[in-house]
Amino acid sequence: MKTYATAILAVGLALTDPMVATAQVTLDVSKINCEQFITYKVADPQHIAIWISGYYHGTRGDPIVDTQGLVANTTKLQNYCFKHSDAPLMEALEAVLGSGK
């Protein structure tokens, strides 16, 4: 009976271990296409847009984020992606915003 109780306790602890429930997910943004972006297949489009904005601001050494511009540019990107669902997301970004981003 004592080993049965110990086994139940061990299983219970294993199931409640926070390390078991967490997983790290990484994305290669260069491989995301427009369909995946607009249909939430990889992540919320707003989260991806925030990352892309931060990436491009970082490459230019620009620490300023225009939140209204971010929303407007995300809307432009989503509209483009609705019409060009097979396009790679980074190419869609270039088409919509050019190299200035």
Per-residue pLDDT tens listing for the chain (101 residues): 566 555 454 555 555 555 555 666 888 999 999 999 999 999 999 999 999 999 888 888 999 989 999 999 999 999 999 999 999 999 999 999 886 55
Phi-psi region of 64 (alpha: psi -120 to 50; beta: other; left: phi over 0): beta
CA 39 to chain centre: 12
pTM for this predicted structure: 0.71
Q: Which domains are delineated in the chain?
A: 24-97 (1.10.890.10)
Q: Please give the structure tokens belonging to residue 66.
A: 């225009």
pLDDT for 33 = 97
